[in-house]
Structure 1
Amino acid sequence: MSNVIAFPGCNLAPLGNPSFAYVRASTLPPESVSKLDLPPAGRRRSVASMHTYVFRSYDLILASSEADLVRDVGCDLHKAATKLNAIREQLRRDREHAAAREDLLTRAEARLAAALAAVLVKAAEG
């Protein structure tokens, strides 16, 4: 770094990721070096697992026996209730979508039938 100009009162940060706090052991007094809190090696058990497991897929719910399903619901009641709410929401969305699609197709059918009838009447007259 011989080509870098150091201005008076300017503290140059070390190269690397600026989000990390850099502590040089040589700049610390010897008594504070032993007091550094290093993270423990290995997996931290106090933190909740980052994995989330889903209850069952719709196909597996239908394919499973009654006893297996009751056992799984008993093991994780919250996930089963969440899955039931998701099924109900999906049914509601599907019904709304089907009603909107039926309305669209009915209006398209009526307009196309009217246009076809108009063309047939015009062709019969001429």
Structure 2
Amino acid sequence: MSEENAVPTHVRSPSCGDKVMTKRVNRKMDIALLPFLSLLYLFNGLDRSNVGNAETQGFTTDIGATSDDLNFAVSVFFITFVLLQPPSAAIGRWLGAKHWITIIMASLTLLLQHLALTGF
């Protein structure tokens, strides 16, 4: 039997250098991504709790709304959040997190600038 057609009888285990390299890459990724992801997590928590804090300060009376209006707005937010999260994760895997998070942040920035300039 020729060497080209030979079937391998063993699998090479990762060398010590591969393990060290993997640890280095993981450490670099942790250092690069964790502060950014922690900041996103903080803003997400602030966004979700802000409506409740505003309600305790009389937000609905200030804008002339009822508590039912506020409940409806919060419900719409969470329903769309739950429905759009799986497609967003799929697109993020397809495009890559680097590009998808950039697109989401740029889109949100443009939307908020438009709302600020037009007065809602």
* TM-score normalised over the length of structure 1: 0.35
The structure with the greater share of residues assigned to helix is 2
* TM-score normalised over the length of structure 2: 0.36
Q: Choose between structure 1 and 2 for higher RCO, CA contacts under 8 A separated by at least 6 residues.
A: 1
